[in-house]
Amino acid sequence: MQTSRVFLPAVVAALTFALSPQSPAAEASGAGTLAPVRPGIYAPVTLAADLAPLTAKEREMVSLFIDASAIMDDLFWQQAYPGDRATLLAGISDPATRRFVEVNYGPWDRLAGNAPFLPGAGPKPDAAGFYPLDMTREEFERANLPGSRSESP
């Protein structure tokens, strides 16, 4: 029996963030105070599957899905954190804090309204890694971006 094991706290955190609305009180908590570093709220999960019933091609496909998930993880980091991930992680000596940054894809606690938990992090930028950090919502909405709904016919 072949098993595939994946460590999923980061995926669980990302899904929880994507499916939960932010409250104004939670957003305000990031203005000057640091949220606690609390890696213990996430539990490691081992996923196992019996791959024996799969054909050789299907097992190869599972392997490709795992490879694709590593690429997706890197892309999500680029979208969620506007800085350099390697530099951020290298500057954290405490393993628990580093793990909490990894799970949250940056120095903001996704389950606490994106409150910053590292000194100097400040509030999470609205655009994260998608758009220029100094771009306002109004500038974005006025922009005539190729392929967007704002583009003139």
Compute φ and ψ for 127, nearest 5 degrees. -85, -10
Distances 82 to 9, 50, 59, 60, 105 between C-alpha atoms, Å:
21, 39, 36, 34, 10
What's the pLDDT at 19? 43
Dist CA 4 CA 85 (whole Å): 27
Alpha helix positions (H), the chain: 9-19, 24-28, 56-80, 85-90, 95-104, 137-142
Dist CA 36 CA 60 (whole Å): 42
This prediction has a pTM of 0.67
Banded model confidence at residue 127, pLDDT cuts 50, 70, 90:
confident
What is the number of helices (H) and of strands (E) in the chain? Answer: 6, 2
What's the pLDDT at 15? 41
What's the pLDDT at 67? 97
β-strand pairing of 115-116 with 108-109: antiparallel
Single-letter residue type at 6: V
Write the pLDDT tens digit of every residue in 45-63.
999 999 999 999 999 999 9
Write the pLDDT tens digit of every residue in 1-60.
444 444 344 443 444 444 444 443 344 444 568 999 999 999 999 999 999 999 999 999
